[in-house]
Amino acid sequence: MKKKILKFSVFLLLLPFSAKAIPPPEIINNFAPILVQGVAFFLSFILIGWVLLKKFFKKIFKWKFYIFISIIFSTSLFSIFLNFNITKEEIIKAQEVLTKLPDPNYYPVNKKYGITLKDFENILIHNEKIKIYDVRLIEEYNAGHITGAVFLKSYNLEKLDQIIEENKNYDKIILYCYDGQRSGYLTNILREKGVNAFYVNELTMNLESFWEGDYFNFTQVKLLTTKEAKKHIKNGAILLDPRNPKKYQQGHLISSLNAPFLELGNEKIIDFLNSFANETNFIGICYDNLSCFEVTVLAYRINLLYDRLYIDKKHTFLGIYATPEKLSDYLTDTINTD
């Protein structure tokens, strides 16, 4: 019995040094592998100590119990090592993907590559040798887009090299979205790769004569008066605040719900709208040009994209209310206008 325990102890002592499945520190940035090796190392000395102190253990079943515990622990070690081996491959793969994603701070939107709606219209009229990409959501592209524009997923960076190769014969590549953020981001990346790319920094949906599919003019969204807003709220209308959560948490109207639709994926948008009773009325509130633009896009999605977004219930967007400070006393809440 003594020899078996000694052999098992030596095995545990050597195991951490011979295990090749443990990833190096540069792959796994934590102390788990070191902890496992340390436990196995010191356990071997504990077992050796048990052999030397055998005379203090008079009951055989105790030895059987300790051996059983040792076997269980050893099995656990092997499981951990095997798991590390799998994790290593996964982490390496994840790191390879992450290295392909540029730091957003490294590619800020450069306004000098932006063109106005009028410039874009002139390019379309003169039929210049250009390629146009729509980087909005696929559902929005399918609902309507600039004639001749090709859909491009905003963060499909792996396809950029293919785009560059396919468009060598074009004089310009022009990208558009809603506000120029996504298109401007991709434009900068293409510029870094030597492509003569530009982005439209205004609302392309106002180019009615060049629009293919459902047309939505932003002037169609009704601007509500304070009297109208109070009446709709009294009748149960829901206030939607489109700002990002950080700004929303700094202060908002008490009855408003945070709905940062430009930051949400389709599934969350669908779940959000389906959570309300059928035929719910919504009012979008905004505090500045950006939030008014965001809430207008929200109106577009609620009113026109039901069939394409698979929303089960029919809701109505009543309009935009752009002076929420006038409702602060009415709703007894504080607001943030920064």
Indicate if 119 and 95 belong to the same structural domain. Answer: no
Answer yes or no: is 335 within a domain: no
Domain that includes residue 311, residue range: 219-327
Domain termination residue (choose one: 45, 65, 99):
99
The whole-number pLDDT of residue 132 equals: 92
CA angle 331, 333, 334 (to 5 degrees): 140
Does residue 129 belong to any structural domain of this protein? yes
Average pLDDT for runs of 10 along the chain of length 338: 54 48 38 49 58 55 55 51 43 42 47 84 83 83 85 74 82 84 84 88 69 61 82 88 83 82 69 82 78 73 56 76 67 45
Tell me which residue of 336, 178, 316 sits closest to 254, measured CA to CA.
336
d(CA 161, CA 174): 16
Contacts of residue 259, defined as CB under 8 A and 6 or more positions apart, other chains included, come to 240, 241, 242, 272, 298
- Looking at residue 64, its pLDDT comes to 56
**Residue 51, SS3?**
helix
d(CA 204, CA 201): 9
What is the pLDDT, as a whole number, of residue 144? 79
74 and 123 within one domain: no
Query: Domains in the chain: how many in total?
Result: 3
State which of 40, 73, 99 marks the end of a domain. Answer: 99
Mark which of 77, 99, 121 sits at the end of a domain. 99
Residues 92 and 157 in one domain: no
Q: Is residue 278 situated within a structural domain?
A: yes
Q: How far apart are CA 267 and CA 269, in angstroms?
A: 5
SS3 of 241, please? strand
Same domain for 270 and 301, yes or no, is yes
Contact at 8 Å (CB) between 252 and 286? Answer: no
My answer on whether 93 and 127 are in the same domain is no
Which pLDDT does position 99 carry in this prediction?
41
Would strands 130-134 and 114-115 be described as parallel, antiparallel, or unpaired? unpaired
Instruction: Check whether residue 293 and residue 311 sit in a common domain.
Output: yes
Which residues are bridge partners to 132 per DSSP?
A: 174
Same domain for 205 and 117: yes
Q: Kindly state whether residues 285 and 194 are assigned to the same domain.
A: no
Q: Determine the pLDDT at residue 310.
A: 56
Interior angle at CA 90, CA 89 and CA 94, nearest 5: 120
Name the 3-class secondary structure at 114: strand
| CA 289 – CA 235 distance, rounded (Å) | 28
Please identify which residue in the block is written with the tokens 């203090």: 56
For residue 38, give the H/E element and its range. helix 32-52
CB 242 within 8 A of CB 153: no
Tokens of 60: 């055989």
On whether both 203 and 255 belong to a single domain, the answer is: no
Token pair 């939107």 in the structure block, residue: 109
Question: Is 224 among the domain residues?
Answer: yes
What does the alpha-carbon distance between residue 276 and residue 256 come to, in Å, rounded to a whole number? Answer: 14
**Is residue 106 assigned to a domain?**
no
Please provide the DSSP assignment of 109-157 as one string.
Answer: --GGGEE-HHHHHHHHHTT-SEEEEE-S-HHHHHHEEETT-EE--TT-G
CATH code, 255: 3.40.250.10
pLDDT of residue 338: 42
Sheet holding 238-241, edge to edge: 256-258, 238-241, 281-285, 316-321
One domain, residues 115 and 207: yes
pTM for the whole thing? 0.43
> What's the confidence (pLDDT) of residue 259?
83
Q: Which of 67, 56, 46 is nearest to 4 (CA)?
A: 67
Domain-embedded: residue 195: yes
SS3 185: helix
